[in-house]
Chains A and B, each alone.
Chain A
Amino acid sequence: MDFSNFLLMRQEILLLAIVLLLVIAEIFISQPKKSSIVHLAIFLFGIHTILGFFALEESSLFGGMFQTNGLIHFFKNVLNVGVFIILLQSADWLQEKIVTHNRGTEFFVLLFSSLLGMYFMISAGDFLMFYLGLELSTLPIAALAAYETAKRISSEAGIKLILSAALASGVSLFGISMLYATTGSIYFNDIIEVITSTNLTILGFIFFFAGLAFKISLVPFHFWTADVYEGAPISIASYLSVISKGAAVFILMILLFTVLKPLMHIWENIIYVIAIATMFIGNLFALRQQNMKRFLAFSSIAQAGFILLGLIIGNQLGTATVVYFVLVYVFSNLAAFGVVQAISLQTGKENIDDYEGLYRTNPNLSLVMMLALFSLAGIPPVAGFFGKFFLFTAAASEGYYLLVFIAVVNVTISLYYYLLVVRAMFLRQSDNAIPFFKNKLYMRLGLLITVLGILILGLYSPLYNYIFELSSNFN
């Protein structure tokens, strides 16, 4: 075996090296300088993100267990950029609340391990690798959700996440074993050739789908979402809502469009129903939320429902629109979470009511928040509009006009609650508004990147063209 093949796993190896490097660095950094671990981690991960942009050839390793191609590589970069933004946004929180308790390194080790799990999950060429990746990505996150041990609600979030995740992965594994029973293989390439829609296969698919639907928090597997987002540290909540969800959507899409393509007449109906339920439940529950984190939790459930509109058509257009939407969603949602994080860190306030009169005291933060919410709501000319429009176009291209109609009704509902936050920030005036404060460099950088993403991604069309070309790999 030629060892140069391992270069295909460049991203994974590099990330593993960073994890080990941080563990070693922990030993050598003296106690008074502990906070420099944050700078080191951000620096290393920044380099990792930049190196990721170098192209990688398309091939597979270990007899097809591990595969990579242009689109997978691109999507890993999307995840990298998302995690990098999260690191920038949570740097201040880490330095103030976590490093002082001497738990800084573990945070990064756990976070990067989880990301490593996602790499393996989306690069999987068989169900074994997929399952290993899934577990590796979930377990560290449960620990991170419970990271603020001083808060009872944080521990509760950790327990809720680990219990439901364990159940979900068990169900998923059960489904995989049924698929193995009917097809006689766990390699994707072998399964494609022999899979037929027998009853057991369909049952296996449904169990398997339920496991992934849990990670994407599709209705009816969404119950953990709001509680966990509320309890977990904000950086972990944003990681769950963007990175974890994005990776799960991606692998689900790959499996549906390739391995499970022969079952399309089954899964398109399932997705149709779940899309409608997810959009309505997410949006209707978001209407009455007071806590910003719960609010964004339900909003992200609704967004997942919109993503299904791209999945349902199962072709190149669907792939491209879904990947593009996830990319846009990373920037939009992280901008919103970033502002919540900045305000929460400075004042500890997380309710929508607390945001009243924010524009008059902190105009820049309010504008970032407004852009983020407009992008989530899908209002032009910001990127979210293009993401949603293309998803709707994808669904309409196969004649799902009724579904698109239901989706646009939901867009209008969602606009209402996004405007509630805008109302609090801009329309209301308050005597005890959050006073003016200046963000530190990392936070400002983190917000700046998201804003640039929101403004540029939509208007700059070559990016979508690039994604569209990469998407031909799977169809």
Chain B
Amino acid sequence: MDILTLFITIPILTVLALVFTKGLKQARIVSMVGSIVQLGMAINLVFAYFKERAVKDNIMVFIQDFVWYEQFNIHYHVGVDGISVSLILLTAIVVLAGVFISWKMPDLPKEFFISLIVLSIGVYGFFISIDLFTMFVFFEIAVIPMYLLIGIWGSGPREYSAMKLTLMLMGASAVLLVGILGIYFNSDADGGALTFNILEIAQVNIPFEAQKLFFPLTFVGFAVIGALFPFHTWSPDGHASAPTAVSMLHAGVLMKLGGYGVFRVAMYLLPEGTLHWTDFFLVLAAIGVVYGAFSAIKQTDLKYINAYASVSHLGLVLFALLMLNKTAWNGAIIQSLSHGLLTAMFFALIGMIYGRTHTRDINKLGGMMKILPFIGAIYVITGLAYLGLPGFSGFVAEMNIFVGGFQHPDMFHRVLTVLAVSSIVVTAVYILRLVGKIMMGPLETNNTENLPKATWYEKTGILLLIIPVIGIGVAPLWLSDMIMDSLQPFIQGLL
């Protein structure tokens, strides 16, 4: 079996093994083993990718192609470039960390881990697909387990949040379906056969009228899961109600499907449509960036703060993609990775704090550094990385994005970039205030002195996430190389 299909088969085998487990202990061991194997394969894929790139100059490598539905020209067609490889690695890291963080899942553990792994199948499948149909199938597979994950194991208004999230995301994917069909039925514009193959469609000159019509459908379809303003409202509720590992996976990985899909499908396949619509969506993205940051200031629930911060930071990804230049694109991809790791870390830490103090209200928390030194220290580090301190991944990403934004000489782009840059300051405000209040401030009454310290599985989960954060921050070049290389076809197609 080829190297990419393994990324789907291993989780499927893990799920099958999970079906036969009994109790929490067996379930978590099986999930851990499965996820470790997956992470090993992801790391192996990075090296294999560099090796393969050295000898081949294709857009996509490790391509496998099987005909699935002949009449519609639907294929099971997989392949990766640098962008998808890096996102696959991110997914493997976050899933494993998520399994560690859920080490003590009290209720229906088997079902929890099954849903979690099924979700990851969707994500892996999405990142390796070259066929639009297969991609769409995996996209929906990734979304639907969220309903059960939030609904069964969530907290607060979990039924409401789960329903809202699922309906908004599935509604978006329904719109996306129309967009995909539109692309499909215009893929014979140059006289070829109808196809779902992304690489082939990219060579076709789809008529401008069709591009103009189907670009917004495709863009919005993907961007809703990337929390595009004003379709971001599912995100704060969903993240606040979800259990820790699900928030991590969702904010860390699932929301990246949006940016990736926008880039790979909407923009890559419909270049003229992109140029026609870019200003409109750029304004929306910029509003999202600023709006998310200001909303985060006013929140008092730790998870809501982080959720709005995600809206802001992922808005930046869409913003950078629409800036239409190489530097900004590079920044967008790194921002996806960086945000994935950092936000997963934040949610993991919030989960640990909540598990000990049973509150997420910042007014009821204080002086955590004194009683939970490990969690406190990591929280501060994460916060600093989040607001873009040099030496961490966040800085590399945002630097690229804003430099890319300023490369446009005209007023429109400059103003929007300045607005977006201002979000950094706002981010600093809410992060630093938060750290000051709950980490440094005086001890609050409900915090007892003898809260349990961080356990080994929690530390492992955190370490898994923080190593790459520092890795990207200190040595971004290997990642940049991988991404820059893969941006070539986009540059040829769009610029």
> Footprint of B on A, CB under 8 Å?
317, 320, 374, 379-381, 385, 389-390, 392-393, 396-397, 399, 401, 404-405, 408-409, 411-412, 415-416, 419, 422-423, 426-427, 461, 464-465, 468
**Are A412 and B178 within 8 A (Cβ)?**
no
A-contacting residues, B355-392, CB 8 Å: none
Q: List 25 A–B pairs whose Cβ atoms lie within 8 Å, in order of A's numbering.
A: A379-B140, A379-B144, A379-B170, A380-B136, A380-B140, A381-B137, A392-B177, A396-B184, A401-B178, A401-B181, A404-B177, A404-B181, A405-B175, A408-B174, A408-B175, A408-B177, A412-B167, A415-B167, A416-B167, A419-B166, A422-B148, A423-B151, A423-B159, A427-B162, A464-B69
Is there an interface contact between A468 and B71, defined as CB atoms closer than 8 Å? yes
- Of all chain A residues, the one with the shortest Cβ separation from B143 is A379
Contacts of B158 in A (CB 8 A): 427
Instruction: Determine if B72 and A393 form an interchain contact, defined as CB atoms under 8 angstroms apart.
Output: yes
A419 to B143, CA, bound (A): 14
Tell me the bound Cα distance from A409 to B181 in angstroms.
15
A416 and B178 in contact, given A379-B144, A465-B70 (Cβ under 8 angstroms): no
Please give the distance in Å from B69's CB to the nearest CB on chain A: 5
User: How far does the alpha carbon of A416 sit from the alpha carbon of B165 in the complex, in Å?
Assistant: 11
What are the 7 tightest A-B residue pairs by CB atom distance, in nearest-first order? A408-B174, A427-B151, A396-B181, A412-B171, A380-B137, A461-B69, A380-B140
Number of chain B interface residues as a range:
20 to 34
Please pick, from A374, A399, A409, A427, the residue contacting B174 in the complex, using a CB distance under 8 A.
Answer: A409
Which chain A positions have C-beta within 8 A of B178? 396, 401, 404-405, 408
Closest B residue, CB atoms, query A459: B68
* Contact assessment for A374 and B159 in the assembled complex, using a CB-CB cutoff below 8 Å: no
CA gap between A385 and B71 in the complex, in Å: 17
Check A392/B170 contact, CB under 8 A, given A380-B137, A419-B163.
no
Contact A426 B151 (CB under 8 A): yes
Residues of B within 8 A of A385 (CB): 137, 140
Task: With A380-B140, A423-B151, A427-B162 as known contacts, state yes or no: A465 contacts B71, CB within 8 Å.
Answer: yes
B493 within 8 A of A: no
Q: Indicate whether B476 reaches chain A with its CB closer than 8 angstroms.
A: no
Say what secondary structure dominates the interface of chain A: helix
B182 within 8 A of A: yes
Q: Is B185 close to A, CB under 8 A?
A: yes
Within 8 A of A (CB), among B146-168: 147-148, 151-152, 158-159, 162-163, 166-167
B163–A423 touching, CB < 8 Å = yes
Which residue from chain A places its CB closest to the CB of B214 in the assembled complex? A401
Q: How far is the CB of A421 from chain B (nearest CB, A)?
A: 12
CB-based contact B152/A426 at 8 Å: yes
B141 within 8 A of A: yes
0/1 interface trace, chain B 185-215, chain A, CB 8 Å (1 if under):
1000000000000000000000000000100
Chain A residues positioned under 8 Å from B148 (CB to CB): 422, 426-427
**Assembly CA distance A408 to B177 (angstroms):** 8
Cβ–Cβ < 8 Å partners of A468 in chain B: 71
If over half of B's interface residues share one DSSP class (helix, strand or loop), that class is named, otherwise mixed; here it is helix
Which residue of chain A lies nearest to B138 when distances are taken between CB atoms in the complex?
A: A380
- For A416, what are the chain B residues with a Cβ–Cβ distance below 8 Å? 163, 167
Bound complex: CA A37 to CA B303 (Å):
63
Q: Nearest-CB distance from A186 to chain B (Å)?
A: 35
13 further A-B contacts with Cβ under 8 Å, apart from A422-B148, A427-B151, are A374-B144, A379-B170, A381-B137, A390-B72, A392-B181, A396-B185, A408-B174, A408-B177, A408-B178, A419-B147, A419-B167, A426-B152, A465-B71
Closest to A404 in B: B178
B205 to chain A, nearest CB (A): 19
Residues of A within 8 A of B137 (CB): 380-381, 385
List of A residues within 8 angstroms of B177 by Cβ: 389, 392, 404, 408
CB distance from A223 to the nearest CB of B (A): 29
Cα A305 to Cα B26 with chains together (Å): 46
* C-alpha spacing A404/B185, complex, angstroms: 13
A29 vs chain B, min Cβ distance (A) = 44
Q: What CA separation (Å) do A423 and B160 show in the bound complex?
A: 11
Q: Which of B69, B141, B167 contacts A381 (CB 8 A)?
A: B141
Give the CA-CA distance A416 to B147 in the complex, in Å.
11
Residues in B whose Cβ lies below 8 Å from that of A396: 178, 181-182, 184-185
Cα distance, A390 to B148, chains bound together (Å)? 27
- The docked-state distance in angstroms from the alpha carbon of A422 to that of B151 is 10
A401 to B182, CA, bound (A): 8
Bound form: Cα–Cα A409–B167 in Å? 11
Chain B residues, Cβ within 8 Å of A411: 170, 174
Collect the chain B residues with CB atoms within 8 Å of residue A426's CB.
148, 151-152
For A462, the closest partner residue in chain B by CB is B70
Known contacts A379-B140, A385-B137, A419-B163; is-contact A461 B70 (Cβ 8 Å):
yes
Contact among A379, A392, A419, A464 with B71 in the assembled complex (CB-CB below 8 Å): A464
For residues 336 through 372 of chain B, which have their beta carbon under 8 Å from a beta carbon of chain A? none
A269 to B258, CA, bound (A): 37
When distances are taken between beta carbons in the complex, the residues of chain B under 8 Å from A320 are 71
- B147 touches which one: A381, A392, A401, A422 (CB < 8 A)? A422
- The residue in chain B whose Cβ has the minimal distance to the Cβ of A467 is B71
Minimum CB–CB distance for A430 against chain B, Å? 14
- Across the two chains, which residue of chain A brings its CB closest to B134? A380
Return A15 CB to nearest CB of chain B, in Å.
Answer: 33
Q: Which residues of B contact A412 (CB under 8 A)?
A: 167, 170-171, 174
Q: Please give the distance in Å from B168's CB to the nearest CB on chain A.
A: 9
Residue among B72, B136, B213 facing the most chain A CB atoms (10 A cut-off): B72
Min Cβ gap A56→B in Å is 24
Q: Which residues of B contact A465 (CB under 8 A)?
A: 69-71
Nearest chain A residue, comparing its CB with the CB of B122 = A380
Chain A residues near B213 (CB, 8 Å)? 401
Residue of B at shortest CB range from A420?
B163
CA–CA, A420 and B390, complex, Å: 48
Chain B residues with CB under 8 Å of A380's CB are 136-137, 140-141
Cβ–Cβ < 8 Å partners of A405 in chain B: 175, 178
A245–chain B nearest beta-carbon distance, Å: 24
Question: Please, which residues of chain B bring their CB within 8 A of the CB of A399?
Answer: 185
Tell me, in angstroms, the Cα distance from A225 to B182 when the chains sit together: 35
Nearest neighbor of B185 in chain A, beta-carbon distance: A396
Q: How far is the CA of A385 from the CA of B133 in the complex (A)?
A: 11
Cα A385 to Cα B143 with chains together (Å)? 14
Give, as a whole number of angstroms, the nearest-CB distance from B321 to chain A. 25
Give B91-144 interface residues, CB cut-off 8 Å to A: 133, 136-137, 140-141, 144
A422 to B163, alpha carbons, bound, how many Å? 11
- Give the contacting residue for B170; candidates A389, A397, A415; CB below 8 A: A415
Closest to A461 in B: B69
Instruction: From the candidates B68, B144, B171, B174, name the one contacting A461 in the complex (CB within 8 A).
Output: B68
B68 CB contacts on chain A under 8 angstroms? 461
